[in-house]
Structure 1
Amino acid sequence: MSDLVDDFYTARNLLYLGAYPQALSNLSTLPRTVNETERQSLQYRAYLGQGNKALVLSEIPATTPNPTLLAIRNLALLQDPALDLTIDAASLQSPTYTAITAQTLASAGQTDDALRILDMHPRNLECTLLTVAIYLSLSRVDLAQKLVARVRQWAEDAPIAQLAEAWTALAQGGSKYNEAYYVFVELAQASAVSTARLFCSLAVVKLHLGQHEEAQAHLQSALEKDPNDPDTLANLVVCASLTAQSPEVRARYLSQLAHVAPSHPFLRDLELASSRFDSALAAVAK
């Protein structure tokens, strides 16, 4: 796996594990002689992970000549109707530019375009992880499984590859739930960081296993790590319903989620389900 390790290996893994302060700290120790664009790309994505969208937009002007930094600016502007999704074809030679652009495209619903450009870097861990994430979002667990199996041949021990494997195992379900759980635990132990993302992942496994009290404990730990983590708040809503907590508790988490992430998929799905229920009720009442 030595060919996968570069100056940014640790920071990149910390970024995807959700350990944003640790990633920023690691980046601050690197000499300025390293690839400055790569350093900045990880730094600004860590800021976005912390919710510092305004800082990113203030430091990356719309007129920047750097395509990778402009791609990060677009990532920060995901909810802006004026978002420019134009792809700089020449910059697709860079796996980092490709990964950031693909993430923006996928978030905007252009999954085919995202997969097309990610396929240009089949041995890049970031591109591979994002490909797996898109496959899973499309319910193509079979394709995710095949990709994870191929990645094991050249990057089995890499934390990003393990993360892809855990996500896929979680999507497979059944006996794979426990496998996913132990991978998430190992990732936390190996990286020496317990992040909201990892605690939330552990909670999701426990929810699927019907172990609601343990899920609640993991979610509370995630909340302590990051009180504004959208996925944690969404799963707290689910857990509150499954454990018969008071409607006020559920409403509080929903309100907080709507405040920090008004476009979160959970809220969109909830609104759609509510709309369908109202339509069905209206049809019956006729």
Structure 2
Amino acid sequence: MSEAVVDDFYTARNLLYLGAYPQALSNLTHLRSNTAAWEFDVEKKSLQYRSYLGQGKHQQVLDEIPTTPSTPATLQALRHLTTFKYTAGDQRDAATAAITELISVPENLLSGTFVAIAAQVLALAQRHDEALSILAMHSNNLECSLMTTAILLSIDRVDLAQKTVARTRAWAEDAPLAQLAEAWTALHVGGQKYTEALYIFEELAQAAAVSTARIVCALAVCKMHLGLVTEAMAMLQDALERDQGDADVLANLVVCADLLALPWETKYHYLGLLREANPEHQFVVELDRKDKEFDVIAAKYL
């Protein structure tokens, strides 16, 4: 991807990652390319379709991205990511196999956007080393740097995530995606870093002039860690009003309701909404795994 393309889509990309999907789509409609029209069009469509995904329109993405070999690799990767996230079993295996084939083509790896999307599929398939390997090819790409940080945090390598954030802030200090990576890492470090993460998320919301469900949810998580659970619950309910299908908001509502010792009907209401919104959400998967482990242990005493 050329630097011109990166500059053209800087605002839309920031809005996407901050969860401001309508604003990202609005920004994209006003963008026109003077050069590299094909490359520009692919990048624009990738951001457009990812904004659709953020709005829960995964079927629209699957319907609109062709399955033909002539479809650009970046859009193919996005289709496979959508398939992996919203299906199960054999279809996930097929999506992972397709991504493996796409990353075997050296030309495809020249695009930072393609790599960022393909790495997400590999990470979801628990192939973290491969994901980090291709992301390392674009260490000066903000999306790839953010994705590297996210994957390192997911495998509890907070030390390496901190190093990645430090390297990124050295050349992109004020970039929203660099700040986002720093805030995520601060949440994992904990302690005094919870307050630092809170300030970063507040700054991001103010700078972008948007207060999305994603940002409000992040602020609520900070509040929970700081012991301000009642404030966190109010913020999460506000976030839910902004986006009733946001799985992360619903997962944190379950946790917050438990911390506040709310009636079990409240907790199971939010859990039911979460299962409906995203049955493959990590919180749901882990909870089901723990339930099965409990049943196995309990059966020994029956």
TM bucket (normalised to shorter chain) is: over 0.9
Distance (whole Å) between structure 2 residues aligned to residue 172 and residue 165 of structure 1: 10
Alignment match of 2:172 (pick from 132, 135, 155):
155
Distance (whole Å) between structure 2 residues aligned to residue 54 and residue 64 of structure 1: 20
Aligned twin of 2:9: 8
Runs of 4+ in 1 over 4 A off after TM superposition: none
Pair 1:85 & 2:99 matched: yes
Distance (whole Å) between structure 1 residues aligned to residue 106 and residue 48 of structure 2: 24
Which amino acid letter does the alignment assign opposite residue 36 of structure 1? Answer: D
Alignment match of 1:75 (pick from 81, 88, 92):
81
Distance (whole Å) between structure 2 residues aligned to residue 257 and residue 156 of structure 1: 35
Farther-moved stretch of structure 1 (84-93 vs 115-124): 84-93
Aligned twin of 2:128: 111
1:142-184 CA deviation, whole Å, 9 max, x = no partner?
0011111111110010000000000000100000000000000
Aligned twin of 1:37: 42
SS for the counterpart of 1:70 is helix
Q: Which runs of 5+ in 1 are unaligned?
A: none
Aligned twin of 1:212: 229
Describe how 1:1-286 pairs up with structure 2 within 5 A.
Answer: 6-33=7-34, 35-65=40-70, 66-78=72-84, 79=87, 80-81=91-92, 82-83=94-95, 84-86=98-100, 87=103, 88-283=105-300, 285=301
Distance (whole Å) between structure 2 residues aligned to residue 73 and residue 45 of structure 1: 10
Farther-moved stretch of structure 1 (73-82 vs 45-54): 73-82
SS for the counterpart of 1:119 is helix
1:173-211 CA deviation, whole Å, 9 max, x = no partner?
000000000000000000000111111111111111221
Q: Which runs of 5+ in 2 are unaligned?
A: none
Distance (whole Å) between structure 2 residues aligned to residue 161 and residue 104 of structure 1: 22
Farther-moved stretch of structure 1 (263-272 vs 29-38): 29-38
TM-score by structure 2 length? 0.91
Task: State how many pairs are aligned.
Answer: 283
TM-score by structure 1 length? 0.96
SS for the counterpart of 1:262 is coil
1:45-93 CA deviation, whole Å, 9 max, x = no partner?
1111111111111111111521111111111101333322322332101
Which amino acid letter does the alignment assign opposite residue 247 of structure 2? Answer: P
Distance (whole Å) between structure 2 residues aligned to residue 70 and residue 127 of structure 1: 18
Distance (whole Å) between structure 2 residues aligned to residue 260 and residue 85 of structure 1: 26
Which amino acid letter does the alignment assign opposite residue 64 of structure 2? Answer: E
Distance (whole Å) between structure 2 residues aligned to residue 250 and residue 61 of structure 1: 41
Which amino acid letter does the alignment assign opposite residue 231 of structure 2? Answer: E
TM-superposed deviation, 1:32: 4.8
TM-superposed deviation, 1:36: 0.7
Distance (whole Å) between structure 1 residues aligned to residue 201 and residue 210 of structure 2: 11
Compare the two structures and name the one with the higher helix fraction: 2
Farther-moved stretch of structure 1 (9-18 vs 206-215): 206-215
Taking only the aligned residue pairs, the percentage that are identical comes to 57
1:203-225 CA deviation, whole Å, 9 max, x = no partner?
11111122110110110121111
